[in-house]
Amino acid sequence: MSIRFSLFSFVSFLLAAVLLLPYVTPWHMPAEWAIWVPIGLIFTTMLTQLEATQLLRQLAHWKYAAQQLPVDSATEVAAPLPTEPTVAPAGSPEAVQLLRLFQEEGRLVDFLQRDIQSFPDDRVGAVARIVHQGCRRVLQDYFEIVPTVSQGEGERISWTPSELGTHIRLVGQSGSSTATSGTVLHRGWTVQRATLPTVLHSASADSAAVLVPAEVEVTA
Amino acid sequence: MSTPTQLQYGIGIDLGTSNCAVGLWDPKEPSHTVPLVQLESPGHQVTQALLPSSLYISLDGELTPETGRLPWQTAFTGIVGGEFARKRGALLPERYIASSKSWLCCDAVDRTAPILPWESPVATKLSPVDCAKLFLEQLRESVVAFRPQALQEAEWVLTVPASFDEVARTLTVEAAQAVGLSITLLEEPQAAFYAWIAQQGDAWREQVAPGELVLVCDVGGGTFDCSLIAVGADHGDLRLDRIAVGPHLLLGGDNMDLALALSLQQELQSKGTRLDRWQLLALIQQARLAKEQLLGTSPLDTITVSLASKGADLFASTVQVEIHRQQVVDVLLEGFFPHVAVIEKPAEAAKGGVYELGLRYETEPALTKHLARFLHQAWENAQAHPEFAALIEAHPDGFFRPHKVLFNGGVFTSDSIRSRMVQVINSWSPEPVQVLDNPQLDLAVAIGAAYYAHSKATGEGVRIAAGTARSYYLGIETSRMAVPGWQPPLKALCILPQGTKAGDVQELPARTFGLVTGQPVTFRFFSAPRRAGDETGSWVEDAEAELEEGPSLQSTLSPGDGYEKGALVPVTLQAHITEIGTLEVTLQQVQGSRRWNLAFNVQHQR
């Protein structure tokens, strides 16, 4: 977010300078630069849009987190305790936390950091079992993930305009712009519940960046 | 404590050998468990239905109060319980305490002394009782976080193995009281049966009939615990009596996982693949999953598992192991659940010689043999008591044949293990045994305990009548003429017969003891699991040969009203089972109203 923001400021500044300088200084914009003005405008507009999307996402996340607290189902056993929203250190602690869980349970970072091109499929397969078993456990323990739509692949489905873009994404042939039904190619996934471990204490910036510590054995 | 009318729901604590769970029974909502708060990793907390009964003594500086303290803890001791302890402890075994509950029932050690982690060089150690306190505190606070008024609004029940001895029960209650919990004890197999009743609703009455025997067979992570419940008729309704409990056996699912892992390791070694210790740890975990996948509802023939070592390069260190169903059948079914004749007895541990101090694991892994012996011993015991005459008549072959069986514990997730147990029990009887449905093998004890707690608070619902499984004795020195080189046998007086129910006071008014004030009074204390015929006041001629000795009972009598120090006070003896389920022995002044309680002296191990 911060990188994008500074880029946005920089481009806006340039654009403003190019447009305003002719009025306050004897400098005149060369004619061949004219093409860059609309491009700059489009670019800044896009960045502004991205900022807005980011903001909306964050709002939706807070709304979701707020909705998540009351647990209705009686068989629900992992009800989250109401806790204070934690202060985020630099970076994104949830992202680091999720990566930590995937690494500790399923060695995901070890796996992805390695170039696997040179290994035959059976070796990759053997390692994939470790990654799959552990990461799957993380998904099962901390998330409840269900298909977005109840229809199976290949089945017909219809939608309302408001679902388009959120629950339904058209691919391939879109048909007429008023089409409201089609065939499911992928059911999508929806997170019904996400209860990552509660952060008791926001670590200092340098320790928050430690995904997993080095493992060392005391030897004589 | 608040009056019973204020108690609205029941809380049931299953303080397990490998995992703890807490059930909540409120008539206004379906039964469920309480989410248990625990550390997942430094600085991270999770809530889940199970709290692993693991403790980890952290290294200096490894955790800070900020990263290691749970919300309610005012001070941070560096000792962590639950999920993080289980994961971390496996990697640093010298700082890891597992199965502390088994130590609570181990009379070879002082259970109040800091001895755990066993034989570890760490400076901070805990006693088995301390461990129980830590878990109970964590469970209590989790309940309070979930229901802030639970200490006032709920009746609390804590489960113990049916085979827990009176000292282990007393210590468990003391641990609960030390963390501010007033609890009643309930035997785990009974709790599992209550969970079945709770789940069936009124329909349970259709599923059992008077005259039937229900075997509750509970195989946990580290223990095998069983009980027999007799169904009877009482004024047109059914009554339930817990008539026998099995011995305390340290044999459970963990033994099975280890056995399977070691057998796989041996096979790999014979093919030239050596596992390092990290891979062996991974293999033990995989063995547990393999048990479920290869012996489950639609079992696979072979599964392939990969074992990683330490080091970031997974490709350099991963070993692949194929596990075949037949191997698992050979190791687990034939090793732990073999087909045996009902007369087959478990191999006894070698008597005499030098024992290594520590937990007494079973030398005989065949659970089916232990079960066969239990059914015989329960019968032999019942034979001595006229109350059981009708039952003995219905089972003329010298052992009890259960009509129904209720399995409990994670081991029975495997279909093949359940059906093997059924096959074996059926081979002992012409009538096939019926299996009672238990959908929550890991949580039934907690749920059942909560159901019982609610029923106890409100007086509604079914109750299983259960007296003491043992009879209790005091060793009495009798004056004899001295004969050089000959020690007269110690006689013992029965103070509480088997089957005594909570609240029944057994008095021995006929016998008066003279006690000296200001001096410690010590009685040698004995018990017996199979002397149903003894009554209060019965004598056993040779206590050391016929009974099992426990820790001594003692008290120091402070000089009472009108007595000088060193005076001889005539007293009578009373024994009873308290409402919370512990044994209490009291000395009652003959002329006067003073009473002294005798307490178990657990410091002096045998």
Q: What is the mean pLDDT of residues A4-22?
A: 60
Q: What is the pTM of this model?
A: 0.81
Alpha-helical runs (H) found in chain A: 2-24, 36-68, 93-106, 108-112, 121-142, 205-208
Provide CB contacts within 8 A for B203, sequence distance 6+.
none
Residue A103: closest CA among chain B residues belongs to which residue?
B312
pLDDT at B460 exceeding the cut of 70: yes
The CATH number that domain B471-600 falls under is: 2.60.34
Higher-pLDDT residue of B341, A73 = B341
Q: Quick check: A80 pLDDT over 50?
A: no
Distance (Å, whole) CA B32 – CA B163: 27
pLDDT digits (tens, 9 = 90+) for B89-119: 888 888 999 889 988 888 778 889 999 998 8
- pLDDT (0 to 100) of residue A69: 40
Per-residue model confidence (pLDDT) at position B352: 45
Per CATH, the architecture of B4-185 is what? 2-Layer Sandwich (3.30)
pLDDT at A206: 63
Compute φ and ψ for B208, nearest 5 degrees: -130, 155
Q: Work out the pLDDT band at A42, boundaries 50, 70, 90.
A: low
Give contacts of B69 with chain A, Cβ < 8 Å: 200
Interface of A with B in 19-78 (CB under 8 A): 74-78
- Looking at the complex, report in whole angstroms how far the Cα of residue A65 sits from the nearest Cα belonging to chain B: 16
User: What pLDDT shows up at residue B482?
Assistant: 63
- pLDDT computed for residue A44 by the predictor: 61
Q: Does A209 touch chain B (CB under 8 A)?
A: no
Q: Would you call A119 and B315 a contact, using CB atoms and an 8 Å cutoff?
A: yes
Beta-carbon contacts of residue A210 (< 8 Å; ≥ 6 apart): none
Q: Residues B300-306: what's their mean pLDDT?
A: 87
Picking from A80, A114, A130, the nearest residue to B308 by CB comes out as: A130
Q: Which helix (H) or strand (E) holds B55?
A: strand B55-57
Task: State whether A203 and B310 contact (CB < 8 Å).
Answer: no
Phi first, then psi, for residue B126 (nearest 5°) are -125, 155
* Residues of chain B contacting A201 with CB distance shorter than 8 Å: 43, 64, 66-67
Name the nearest CA neighbour of B471 among B419, B409, B403, B547: B547
> DSSP letter at B222?
S
Nearest to A81 among B30, B145, B307 (CB): B145
Q: Please check whether residue B60 touches A, CB under 8 A.
A: no
Contact A110 B40 (CB under 8 A): no
Picking from B200, B252, B188, the residue whose alpha carbon sits closest to that of residue B446 is B188
Interface subset of A 94-153, CB within 8 angstroms of B: 97, 100, 104, 107, 110-111, 113-114, 116, 119, 123, 126-127, 129-131, 141
- Could you say which of A77, A126, A197 has the minimum Cβ distance to residue B33? A77
Residue A164 gets the label, from left (phi > 0), alpha (psi -120 to 50) or beta, of beta
Task: Kindly report the nearest CA distance between residue B331 and chain A, in angstroms.
Answer: 24
pLDDT band at A17 (very low <50, low <70, confident <90, very high): low
- CB atoms A200 and B44 under 8 Å: yes
- Name chain A contacts of B290, Cβ cutoff 8 Å: none
pLDDT for res B297 = 75
Chain-chain contact of A78 with B49 (C-beta, under 8 angstroms): yes
What's the number of CA atoms in the CB half-sphere (13 Å) around residue A219?
Answer: 3
Q: What is the pLDDT of residues B27-62, one digit of tens each?
A: 888 889 999 999 999 889 999 999 999 999 999 888
Average pLDDT of chain B, as a whole number: 87
Does CATH place domain B253-336 in 3.40.50.300?
A: no
Contact yes or no for B43 and A200 at CB 8 A: yes
User: pLDDT band at A65, cuts 50/70/90?
Assistant: very low
Minimal CA separation from B318 to chain A, in Å: 7
Please tell me whether residue A71 adopts helix, strand or coil conformation. Answer: coil
Residue B332 is given by DSSP the state: I
Q: Helix B415-426 to helix B367-383 angle, to the nearest 10 degrees?
A: 40
* Interval B204-222 mean pLDDT: 93
Distance between the two ends of chain A, CA-based, in angstroms?
A: 49
Q: Out of B45, B67, B308, name the one closest to residue A107 (CB).
A: B308
Residues A130, A136, A138, A143, Cα dihedral to 10°: 170
Domain ranges of chain A: 1-69, 92-153
Taking the Cβ of residue B266 and every Cβ of chain A, the question of whether any pair is shorter than 8 Å is answered with no
Q: Which of A13-17, A86-90, A130-134, B325-329 has the lowest mean pLDDT?
A: A86-90
Coil, strand or helix at B244: strand
* Res. A71 pLDDT band, cuts 50 70 90: very low
| Partner residue opposite A127 with nearest CB, options B30, B146, B314 | B314
Where along chain B do its domains lie? Answer: 4-185, 253-336, 471-600
Cβ atoms B324, B299 nearer than 8 A: no
pLDDT tens figures, B328-377? 999 999 999 999 998 877 876 554 444 455 677 777 889 999 999 999 99
The Cα angle at residue B199 between residues B195 and B202, in degrees rounded to 5: 110
Q: How far is CA A50 from CA A64, A168, B234, B573, in A?
A: 21, 21, 76, 85
